[in-house]
Amino acid sequence: MDLQRLEELLRVPSVSEFDLSSEEFLVYTTNLSGRWQLHLYDKQNHLQLTFDERAKESPKFLSSQKIVYACDFSGDENFDLFVFDIKTRKELNLTPDTPFSILPDCSISETGFVAFVSNEHGNFSSYVLNTKTLERKRVTYHKYSDSHAEISPDGKALAVSSLVEAQSEGVFVYSLEKDEQITLLDPLTSLPLEATAQCWSSDSKALLFTSSSKGWEDVGVWKLDSNEIIWVTHGGAECYEAVFSSDSRKIAYTENKEGDMALVIYDTTTQEKLHVTPGHGVVESPIFSKDGKRIYFVYSGAKNPPDIWSYDLNEQRFYQVTKSLPENLTQEFVEARHVYYPSKVDGTMIPALLYEPKVNKRIAVIDIHGGPSAQALNTWNPFVQYLVSNGFVVLRPNYRGSTGYGRLYREANRFVMGSHDLLDVVSGKHYLVSAHLVDPKKVGVMGASFGGYLTMCALTNYPEEWAFGVSIVPFLNWFTEIQNEREDLRDPEKDKDRLYRASPIFFLEKISAPVLLIAGANDPRCPAEEALQAKSKLESLGKRFEFKLYEDEGHGFLKLENKIDAYKRIARFISAHTQNTFD
């Protein structure tokens, strides 16, 4: 078992988030040092700015010399917002002594105000903070739960995205000068439009948004003066992360097709669209340079860890800004193939990413993504590549409830989670068997978060199907999950029987395959108490299981050494229960 090779892959750093200054300097977060730290690129050199143990997220330029970022102390997601002075290398906590949650993705106006979302008063509401006086003002008082607040460049208005019903969001614009609020309405029904705010125009007169009201996630422009909506896209693919150029003559957004995401550049004058991408993979977080000549973005693929790239519109050429993949890494990487297979539920064709090894040992892992409103994308995944290089087939299903395939598909598991989506996953194993790719007795299932939940559902509902299961930071009990995180479910008392049946914590005696449970002690989304309860029950039942609790982690891994330890444990566990020796 070559765990050293696995460690080499896991140590390949990634770039997570970045921002661009007017001078075209870049601030970004990377785990190059083993912790998520701030780095600066000044067009010549890459400089590490922070060096402590805390994880940094969502950096934004407040000015050419100051950066605002969110800081997670121990994985508990009780973020504080800091401002960092590049010249003096000193930081100031903008939100000290805050025992409540602050969402890390803030926005900043040209006038120096920061907008963010917090549950300081119970519900998640939007706030504006003066970075000079540290005075913060609550802006929203509605009954909805806010997810993002985008302040206008002139600092006079706030565009708020709020969860208004189940998984659907609406957009509200609040004046910060007058007691006024307007809602983005559907022009056909005059009802609130299902939408998410994306980006203001530089003159603060128009707002880009995305909406799946027509069936696919489309990009639209809302002109506030006239209350007019202009649609940029018209279905057929999911589109995200729309941004204006500084003169508003161009719009950049990402387009999702079958697990790949390309960069699309739209000319508002000619209405022409240009699709570009460095290769198979995922483009995210586009930002125009101030002069509009370049677009910066994060690109990741099966052979490329997440890095910052740029596209020069005049030269029609890509440039790689950060280079995370070590030149001496000799790993051969395998591209995924996008496939469909029928579900046992009703024959619905389920999309998935299939990784096939050069030398097939007929052992497979069904890797279930979290969310559930998320997607298995064609991105960098070192553990999948490690498995495939050791002869494993890996299938990553996009079960119903996943994003990327239209609104109807995304909402297809609403109120039936742990049922149809679970059978979609089980059907993935049957697809591999019918394609003669695997030994039916050597297929395991693994996942994290909601994927960890579905893993435990698979082990309890279909115990005869699996050789092993690996469940990472799962929840196991819908009744406690509703209290901890989910706000889009029906009355738990009314749906008591269904929620009970969908909660694997009550059916652990049915498990026959060995299971590995991994939890984070500070996890606010899927608290470790549930995994600890499962540990106790599995122990009393005499089941084969392993358990690991990371005392200094939350809902995932912020510290590289913990991630390496966890995935080495997973590799050893899979090896032991498939009689496979990793090369």
Per-residue pLDDT tens over the stretch 486-524:
444 556 667 889 899 999 999 999 999 999 999 999 999
- Determine contact, residues 284/297, Cβ cutoff 8 Å: yes
pLDDT band at 84 (very low <50, low <70, confident <90, very high): very high
| CA 260 – CA 487 distance, rounded (Å) | 30
Contacts for 325 with CB less than 8 Å, ≥ 6 apart: 12, 304, 305, 307
The values of phi and psi at residue 510, to 5°, are -80, -15
In angstroms, what CA-CA distances link 517 with 216, 422, 433, 484? 36, 19, 26, 20
SS3 46: strand
Identify the pLDDT of residue 492.
66
Number of neighbouring beta carbons within 10 Å of residue 193: 22
Mean pLDDT of 288-303: 97
Neighbours of 572 (CB within 10 A): 15
Whether the CB-CB separation of 413 and 399 falls below 8 Å is answered with yes
Q: What is the CA radius of gyration of the chain?
A: 24
Is the pLDDT reported for residue 328 higher than 90? no
What does each C-alpha distance from 215 to 212, 222, 403, 408 come to in angstroms?
5, 19, 12, 7
d(CA 335, CA 36): 27
Q: For Cα atoms 223, 225, 227, give the angle at the middle one, nearest 5 degrees.
A: 55
Q: How large is the angle between the packed helices 382-389 and 3-10, nearest 10 degrees?
A: 150
Which of helix, strand or coil describes residue 462?
A: coil
Q: Look at the block and give the residue holding tokens 């990793």.
A: 582
Q: Is 84 left (phi over 0), alpha (psi -120 to 50) or beta?
A: beta
Structural element, H or E, at residue 540: helix 528-541
Amino acid (1-letter code) at residue 383: F
Closest to 379 measured CA to CA, from 450, 327, 303: 303
Please say whether the dihedral angle defined by the alpha carbons of residues 331, 336, 342 and 346, taken in this order, is positive or negative: positive
**Main-chain dihedrals φ then ψ at residue 526, nearest 5 degrees:** -125, 80
DSSP state of 195: -
pLDDT in tens, 46-76: 999 999 999 999 999 999 999 999 998 889 8
For residues 167 and 257, give the distance between their C-alpha atoms in angstroms, rounded to a whole number: 22
Confidence (pLDDT) at 485? 57
> What pLDDT is stored for residue 312 in this prediction?
98
**Among 16, 19, 37, 15, which residue's Cα sits nearest to residue 27?**
19
For residue 211, give both structure tokens. 């909406």
Task: Give 251's contacts (C-beta < 8 A, 6+ positions apart).
Answer: 208, 219, 221, 232, 242, 243, 244, 245, 265, 266, 268
Torsion on CA atoms 146, 159, 224, 404, rounded to nearest 10: -70
pLDDT band, very low/low/confident/very high, at 165 (cuts 50, 70, 90) = confident
Give the pLDDT score at 490: 52
Percent of the chain with pLDDT over 70: 97
Assigned architecture for domain 337-577: 3-Layer(aba) Sandwich (3.40)
**Contacts (Cβ under 8 Å, ≥6 apart) of 197:** 148, 150, 159, 160, 161, 171, 207, 208, 209
Q: What is the pLDDT of residues 193-210, one digit of tens each?
A: 999 999 999 999 999 999
Rounded alpha-carbon distances, angstroms, from residue 29 to 58, 69, 132, 230, 238? 8, 10, 25, 35, 27
Would you state the structure tokens that stand for residue 133, as one six-digit string? Answer: 């006086």
- pLDDT averaged over the chain? 95
Q: How many CA atoms lie within 13 A of 242 on its CB side?
A: 30
As a 3-state breakdown, the chain gives helix, strand, coil percent values, each rounded to 5, of: 15, 40, 45
CA distance 44 to 162: 41
CA distance 459 to 515: 8
Rounded Cα distance, 69 and 318, in Å: 28
Handedness of CA 415, 189, 404, 20 (dihedral sign): negative
The whole-angstrom separation of Cα 557 and Cα 305 is 17
* Residue 440 token pair: 């039916």
The fraction of the chain above a pLDDT of 90, given in percent, is 89
Q: How far apart are CA 546 and CA 519, in angstroms?
A: 12
Whole-model pTM?
A: 0.96
∠ Cα 104 108 109 (to 5°) = 160
Residue bearing tokens 């998320």: 374
The CA distance from 121 to 140, in Å, is: 11
Residue 407 φ/ψ, nearest 5 degrees = -65, -40
For residue 18, give both structure tokens: 């970045």
pLDDT at 483 > cutoff 90? no
Q: What is the pLDDT of residues 1-45, one digit of tens each?
A: 689 999 999 999 999 999 999 999 999 999 999 999 999 999 999
